[in-house]
């Protein structure tokens, strides 16, 4: 249980970091990257369900990065 949570936080941080780099932002703090990655995972999961894509862990990571990119873009627009 604890290991699964730690693994998800690490994957969330990596997805958030990748989204920041893709969107041209600074690397930011680890907490910011975790939040972007986790929220991006939720957004990516919703998008995946809407278009009927999902299932594997690679697809989940890609959808998390796409979702995190959307979150980063939205934050840039809202807090500029």
pLDDT digits (tens, 9 = 90+) for 37-69: 888 888 888 888 888 887 788 888 888 889 889
Whether 28 has a pLDDT exceeding 80, the answer reads no
The pLDDT, as a whole number, for residue 27 is 65
Token pair 């995946």: residue:
48
Whether 8 has a pLDDT exceeding 70, the answer reads yes
Token pair belonging to 69: 């990119």
The answer to whether the pTM exceeds 0.95 is no
- The listed range with the strongest mean pLDDT (9-13, 30-34, 73-77) is 73-77
Q: How many domains does the chain have?
A: 1
Domain region containing 34: 2-78
Nearest-angstrom CA–CA distance, 30 and 38: 12
At residue 80, the 3 state secondary structure works out as coil
Share of the chain above pLDDT 70, in %: 96
């Amino acid at each position: 249980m604890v290991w699964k949570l730690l693994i998800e936080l690490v994957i969330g941080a990596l997805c958030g970091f990748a989204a920041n780099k893709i969107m041209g932002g600074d690397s930011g703090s680890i907490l910011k990257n975790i939040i972007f990655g986790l929220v991006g995972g939720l957004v990516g999961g919703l998008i995946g369900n809407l278009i009927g894509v999902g299932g594997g862990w690679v697809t989940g990571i890609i959808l998390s990065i796409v979702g995190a990119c959307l979150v980063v873009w939205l934050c840039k627009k809202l807090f500029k």
